[in-house]
Amino acid sequence: MAERELVLVTGGSGFIGSAVIKRLAQDYQVVALDRAGPPDPPAEAAAVDFDLGTDEGVAKALETVRARFGGRIASVVHLAAYFDVSGKPNPLYDKITVQGARRLIEGLQGFEVGQFILASTMLVHRPTDRPDKTIDEDSPIAPGWAYPESKVKSEAVLREAHGDIPLVLLRIAGVYDDQAHSPFIAEHVARIYEHRLTAHVYPGMLCAGQSFIHLEDLVDAIARLVVRRAQLPPELPLLLGEPEALGYGEVQDIIGRTLHGEDWDTVRIPQPIAKLGAWLQTEALGDEEFVKPWMVDQSNDHYVLDITRARTLLDWTPQHSLRTTLPKIVEALKRDPKGWYETNHLDAAVVAWNRPHGASHTAGQDTEPSRTGDHMAHHPAPAPPAGAAGEEHAAHGGGHDHMAMMEADARRVRWAHFANIGLGLWLAASPFIYDGLGAAAASPLVRAVTEARGLASLDTRAAALFFSDLLSGLAIAAFGVLSLSKRTAWFAQWANTFVGLWLLFAPMLFWTPSAAQYLNDTLVGVLVIAFSVLIPMMPGMSMAGMMDPKNIPPAGPTVPRPGLSGCRSRCWA
């Protein structure tokens, strides 16, 4: 039996890398280059430890490859890179993505290499301004944020340094599969599933569409590249993606119909408002919201691909489409919401009370992102410590699930903080609407009481209460905003409670003669207290502490508490 040709795959334990290895291992000897696990590459590949961030790490890995497998390599599939969704520059883009590509191509000069494939991105190209315009390999290069900028630099480094090694610059669309495994698709589906307010608004044109590619189609194209490497040009930029790019509004409708049986109403909002909201959530409040300001800037971009070159050179056409796969993704979510959320690195506490509908937990069989990065297939969120959650659940008879349900309940009462923001703005505006003195100023009885008790003048007291309402209202609104963030909620909720208490007593302390002002302050004060600490969970209470086994009495069997079972039925799916 002839010895099989060698293929190297960097980022071999990642989402794309694992699938590529399983496909290529049918015909080739595959070596996975990645940092020491877990997770580990698929068993079909021989694993070699590989640190892309240092010259020594790359050189050592290639020496190991030469010693174990020889100096002839049919193809190198370079998937490893750094990626995050922050949109901000990061030194790791240069260290891992750009310089890592340089280290690898320079280290391979001493080998006989038939092909070097770089996993780049379609985002290196300038987007078009109309959905009827397409992008091909000769379209202008104009990356819009840090990730595609790093790929443009990597392409330039490889063009200069690849020497006699044939080079393929594989510009890939957003990768997904039947479970989603794409941060953008998963967030899109989750927002509609949860009926979030943000799922009904979009800052760009609803027809704006971007190409995607199913994982199986991407793997098939890579396999064809390896087989046909001898017939390809020595330097080949190649776009891979589905020729149909669904508009944002159409994606909304497909998800909405599959989830809720109806088209989804989507309203276009001005970009400055959307950017302000994204900035407040991520920068001012410190929340880990998915939508970032840079995404708002690109909401009008069109990435509709012309894949003529891939069809001609590889005889390749996508066999999947996002249009037909979106319903499958949604059905996977409906079968096992918690497993689907965990698979896509979303907050599973939101759907913790949901149980799989007659299906095994296949959604949870996830593949971790590559430790050196694995293109832009999905968000590289860290996984929880192995065994920790399961051990707690087993020991406490469902305590972990109950904590998750409580966290989800806390999300559902976030409206109370928005209500406080509205109350605060109303209170701040109210002194300008009604007369703090009114008819009472002309009342002989009011003047008599003022003189008899030695009170300050009516004008002075009215001015004091005017500023009290104005400042208290602004404070309530500000603390309401801070209550939306986990970092500041504890302080902000209690602060609003004290402002509410102040409003209950301020009209009496200032001896206001205005019944309207008295009733307004009292009503707002009561509602602010309720929306701060009575409707939401009491600030400062720790669910982890409440469920701590050290606090559970060593008595007889656990008796279910009344009312807890009702938590599980409040599902909007």
DSSP, residue by residue, 75-101:
EEEE------SS-S--HHIIIIIIHHH
> pLDDT tens digit string along 180-195?
999 889 999 999 998 8
Minimum mean pLDDT range among 167-181, 379-393, 429-443: 379-393
- Taking the C-alpha atoms of residue 155 and residue 140, their distance in angstroms, rounded to an integer, is 14
Residue 557 has pLDDT above 60, yes or no: no
Measured CA to CA, the distance from residue 38 to residue 469 in angstroms comes to 58
Locate 3 and state its tokens.
Answer: 């010895």
* Nearest-angstrom CA–CA distance, 521 and 466: 11
The pLDDT value recorded for residue 564 is 33
State the residue for tokens 């520059």: 89
Tokens of 562: 């009344």
Residue spans of alpha helices (H) in 127-214: 146-161, 183-193
Higher-pLDDT residue of 410, 268: 268
Q: What's the confidence (pLDDT) of residue 349?
A: 82
Position 411 scores a pLDDT of: 65
Name the average pLDDT for the chain: 81
Q: Which of the two residues, 294 and 55, has the higher pLDDT score?
A: 55
Query: What is the predicted pLDDT for the residue at 287?
Result: 53
CA distance 221 to 317: 9
Residue 371 pLDDT exceeds 90: no
Q: Which pLDDT value is given to residue 464? A: 85
Grouping H, G, I as helix, E, B as strand and the rest as coil, residue 70 is: coil
Taking residues 377-389, report their average pLDDT: 33
* Higher local confidence (pLDDT), 532 or 561: 532
Whether the CB-CB separation of 8 and 31 falls below 8 Å is answered with yes
**Predicted confidence (pLDDT) at residue 279 exceeds the cutoff of 50:** yes
Name the token pair of 565: 């079972």
372 pLDDT more than 70? no
Q: Looking at residue 484, what is its pLDDT?
A: 81
Is the distance from CB of 311 to CB of 136 less than 8 angstroms? no
The letter for the amino acid at 438 is: G
Q: How confident is the model at residue 430 (pLDDT cuts 50, 70, 90)?
A: confident
The more confidently predicted of residues 373 and 26 is: 26
Lowest mean pLDDT, pick from 147-156, 330-339, 404-413: 404-413
Instruction: Kindly state the average pLDDT of the residues 483-507.
Output: 86
Q: Are 122 and 173 in contact (CB under 8 A)?
A: yes
Residues 6+ apart with CB under 8 A from 560: none
| Residues 4 and 28 sit within 8 Å (Cβ to Cβ) | yes
pLDDT in tens, 27-58: 999 999 998 878 899 999 999 999 999 999 99
Once rounded to an integer, what is the mean pLDDT over residues 330-353?
89
pLDDT value, residue 548? 46
The pLDDT, as a whole number, for residue 498 is 92
In terms of Cα–Cα distance, which of 319, 322, 278, 318 is closest to 296? 278
Domains observed in the chain: 6-351 (3.40.50.720), 413-534 (no CATH)
Categorize the per-residue pLDDT at 487 as very low, low, confident or very high, splitting at 50, 70 and 90: confident
Higher pLDDT, 373 or 206: 206
- Taking CA atoms, 479 is separated from 411, 495, 532, 533, in Å, by 17, 7, 10, 13
| Run of H or E residues at 544 | helix 543-546
pLDDT at 408: 59
